[in-house]
Amino acid sequence: MTGELVDRIRDALRVVIDPELGHNIVDLGFVYDISVVGDAVHITMTATTPGCPATAFLKEGVTSCAVEVPGVGSVDVEMTFDPPWTPARVEPAVRAALGFAAVN
């Protein structure tokens, strides 16, 4: 059940679009971890840089989307920059669309 809920939350987060890169935060590799205990959800995520002006916007979007998923009672979003985000975290099709070279 927990794995299914995590998958539903991850799918819900695909509507959160990074305003700078124009793609969803899941495909961009911003979501590092989703954990569930009971109906409490903890999401660990990042942004492109620590000084990213969209950080608050992204956190708010993640919280709003995740709390709407059936079975979720509360949402805590933690922003981290460890490890730092890199284009290597981006899904290959999105990486190509953004013009990033293939990362081996």
Residue range 5-61, pLDDT digits in tens: 999 999 999 999 999 899 999 999 999 999 999 999 999 999 999 988 999 999 999
Banded model confidence at residue 82, pLDDT cuts 50, 70, 90: very high
In this structure, what are the phi and psi dihedrals at residue 50, rounded to the nearest 5 degrees? Answer: -60, -30
List, in order, residues 6 or more apart from 6 with CB less than 8 Å away.
Answer: 34, 35, 36
Highest CATH level, class, for 2-88: alpha beta
Where do the structural domains in the chain lie, given as residue ranges?
2-88
What are 89's two structure tokens?
């975290």
pTM of the model: 0.91
